[in-house]
Amino acid sequence: MSKNKSSESVKVVVRCRPLNRKEESNGPSGGIVQMDLRLGQVILRNPRASHSEPQKTFTFDAVYDASSKQRDLYDESVRPLIDSVLAGFNGTIFAYGQTGTGKTYTMQGMWLDPEKRGVIPNAFDHIFTHISRSQSDKQYLVRASYLEIYREEIRDLMDPNHATARGLELRESPETGVYVPDLTSCVCKSIKEIEEVMNVGNQARAVAATDMNEYSSRSHALFLITVECGQPGPDGRKHIRVGRLNLVDLAGSERQAKTGVQGERLKEAAKINLSLSALGNVISALADGRSGHVPYRDSKLTRLLQDSLGGNAKTVMVATLGPAPQHYDETLTTLRYANRAKNIQNQPRVNEDPKDALLREFQSEIARLRAQLNHRKWRSKQKKERLDDDGSDADGDEDTECEEEEEVEKNAEEYVKREEQRLEREKEAIRGDRSLLADEKQRLLGEKERMMGDLRKEQEATEQLTAKYKAMESKLLVGGKNITDHTNEQQKMLEMKRQEIAEQFRNEREMQQQMMVQDDETLELRETFTSLQQEVEAKTKKLKKLYAKLQCIKAEIQDVNDEHVRSRQELEQTQNELTRELKFKYLIIENFIPPEEKNKIMSRMTFDTEEDQWKFQPLVPAESKPLQMKKRPTSAVGYKRPISQYARVAITMGTNNRFRAENIMFLELDMNPPNTASLARLRDLNQSFPVDNFPTNDSGVHKSNSWCQNQKSLTSSSSNVSLSACTTAMSASAQ
């Protein structure tokens, strides 16, 4: 695996959607987001602040305003990333932002309108067009998978039973990083096939959305494309490069307080939003650069994106904003996250000749099938030649490999046909031969029949092998061969020009941003003053500028503090709820579970860090300790096994054999716990009254009876009866 040590930062672009009809009807205040496309800046106005307060300005790799086109975003910000994936890098594009700000619109868009198709369909076009235009010595294998993370469970959207199946697990390997081992992976040979994968997955999500409220906005969707490319290297050997692309449509990042949920739903929301807050923490930890620990393990999403954030992938983050004044806080939070994400450094590298490349497996399988097939056909050809001319030399011709192969195929078919005809003729001859006995005829016919059966079986096996071989081969895409590129030369030129313009625009913006930074730094150096007055004026101007900057930073600090306080309050609230619940559970455990049972349970519990759950160890730990099994209790004298009172009575009475050996126990609970006074009183009563008239089980401890006890004693065990008996006895003694 080749290593390229150079690091590059996560590309962050911001997109603002237009005001929707509802927001427009709310008033003429207009949007709070302004954008400078040339400089890549977003200027945010606080609708609650006075006009004198400075506006907040953020600079990104690119910004797209309400009038931006899907194609512009793709050509400028996504195309270079997909090109890298095709060259063997890992790449990730994820959309982040508040619900309803256009994440799904940006990632998927409107499929039927070519102008409004989002990043994902454009990436499909891009990948397959690239393959169709590449050189014919390149072989490609494209695979796609689709998963979603719902309530911290990974679900395979290609699995028809995904809604009921158990969540998939994550694994980590040094070669591929974090991956989902059991995820369905579909080999796609064309745009149509990969779109089919997307549609099937989207329908699986949509169905669930009708069943559950707000479902779609609560799940994160990941579409994964793996492009493997095999090409002969300068050393003559075939090399394989594997690029993995993650296309991520995240759930909305709204704050819990804003959704107004409480109690049980708050906890549910906390779990659902866990991935997003974990993502925020990972971004903060990486952007900070000082904290050594990055909490990837806190959620499934961050683990899946581990390579994309601070790992070996190239990453583009599209932060989406809404322009409405009522969402100022969320917009600011999104911008802050996006701003922080700019500082994340990745170390992208090409995945060259990884061990798990499927392309290599496909190639060797195809070679094996081909050898098998050739052998079969060659065998048929040999037989045919032997049949054709007995003894004549067949090794005379010197064809090229391909021609020979074709000839072998033709000859094999011919051989089968001729062999069938010959067998048919022989059968006819046997039928017509009068010199043979009927039995003999039957036997010979049967033999010929069997030979024909064998021949057919062989032919079928060859056909199956051929079909398998062709199916395998068709999965591999050969540069410029399997897919026809329908665009004409003019369109191709147009596309190239558009890409060039996008590239130029990108470079221009980068230069502008660099110039702006340099301007600030060198302002002082360039200034020469002719008079004192001029110097005072210039310095006053500069002072004003710096003062404004200071105010901005002060306001920023205040904002960050406020946000910190707010999020702390939210966390405290969640903590309080959880503590209350914990106390409740503790109360139940302490008061209603016997301590020895509790200890037994606790000694069996272990925490599974991989699944983030407590688990029970099996009751009988291992086969290696069979001696630990409890012994059966020994039987009473004269009986084969331990036996209950009831069974003994049943045996002596000789009735109902069914219960003879069954140990049925009756446990009765006296629900009135006694106090010392009542116990003392009962002792007195027991002394002054015959025992038979009073219940003796008032101790509150559970008495065990067997079924054979008489009806009276069964009913008298109820606490009501005991109480009434007590009261009668007490009134009697009082008199």
Amino acid type, 334: T
Extract the tokens encoding 319. Answer: 């932060």
Q: Per the structure block, which two tokens stand in for 668?
A: 């009765």
Looking at the Cβ atoms of 243 and 323, the one nearer to Mg ion is 323
> Measured from the CB atom, is 337 or 646 closer to Mg ion?
337
- The DSSP-derived string for 547-577 is HHHHHHHHHHHHHHHHHHHHHHHHHHHHHHH
Tokens of 313: 């992938």
Nearest approach, Cβ of residue 324 and ligand ADP (Å) = 12
- The distance of closest approach from Cβ of residue 253 to ligand ADP in the complex, given in angstroms and rounded to an integer, is 9
Scanning 46-54, 102-110, 137-145, 623-631 for contacts with ligand ADP by CB under 6 A, the matching segment is 102-110
Ranges within 202-241 binding ligand ADP (CB under 6 A): 217
* Residue number with CB closer to ligand ADP (18 or 674): 18
Nearest to 46 by CA among 59, 35, 57: 57
Residue 18 interacts with, from Mg ion, ligand ADP, none (CB under 5-8 Å by kind): ligand ADP
CA 443 to chain centre: 65
Q: What is the rounded CA–CA span in Å between residue 443 and residue 447?
A: 6
Position among 100, 354, 480, 700 found at the interface with ligand ADP (CB under 6 A):
100
Q: Which residue is nearest to Mg ion (CB)?
A: 104
**Interface size with Mg ion, residues (CB under 5 A):** 2
Determine whether 519 is exposed, middle or buried from the number of CB atoms within 10 Å of its CB (0-12, 13-18, 19+). Answer: exposed
Task: Rule CB under 6 A: choose which of 56, 103, 189, 241 binds ligand ADP.
Answer: 103
Question: Please, which residue, 104 or 302, has the CB nearer to ligand ADP?
Answer: 104
- Picked from Mg ion, ligand ADP, none, the partner binding residue 99 (CB below 5 to 8 A depending on kind) is ligand ADP
Instruction: Name the helix (H) or strand (E) containing 71.
Output: helix 70-73
| Closest residue by beta carbon to ligand ADP | 102
Dist. CA 207–CA 204, nearest whole Å: 5
**84 vs 253, beta carbon nearer Mg ion:** 253
What number of residues does the chain have? 735
114 three-class SS: helix
Stretch that binds ligand ADP, among 92-100, 141-149, 471-479, 685-693 (CB under 6 A): 92-100
Q: How far is the CB of 149 from ligand ADP (least distance, A)?
A: 15
Contact (Cβ atoms closer than 8 angstroms) between residue 476 and residue 137: no
384 binds, among Mg ion, ligand ADP, none (CB under 5 to 8 A by kind): none
The alpha helices in 174-273, defined as continuous H runs, are 191-211, 256-259, 263-272
Selected from 10, 11, 12, 17, the binder of ligand ADP by CB under 6 A is 17
Of 31, 40, 102, 695, the residue at the interface with ligand ADP (CB under 6 A) is 102
Contact range with ligand ADP by CB under 6 A, out of 32-40, 100-108, 159-167, 419-427:
100-108
Q: Which does 336 bind (CB under 5 to 8 A by kind): ligand ADP, Mg ion, none?
A: none
Say if CB 226 and CB 194 are below 8 A apart.
no
Helices 328-341, 532-592: crossing angle, 10 deg rounding = 100
Residue whose tokens read 């497996």: 361
Report, in Å, the least distance between residue 102 CB and ligand ADP. 3
The rounded Cα 631 to chain-centroid distance in angstroms is 48
Task: Tell me the C-alpha distance between 645 and 707, whole Å.
Answer: 8
Q: Which amino acid is at 204?
A: A
Site for Mg ion in 79-108 (CB under 5 A): 103-104
Q: Which stretch binds ligand ADP (CB under 6 A): 103-111, 129-137, 427-435, 561-569?
A: 103-111
Can you read off the two tokens belonging to residue 72?
Answer: 């512009």
Does the footprint of ligand ADP cover residue 104 (CB under 6 A)?
yes
Judged by beta carbon, residue 17 or residue 349, the one nearer Mg ion is 17
**Binding to ligand ADP, residues 304-363 (CB under 6 A):** 320
Q: Which residues bind ligand ADP (CB under 6 A)?
A: 17-18, 97, 99-105, 217, 252, 320
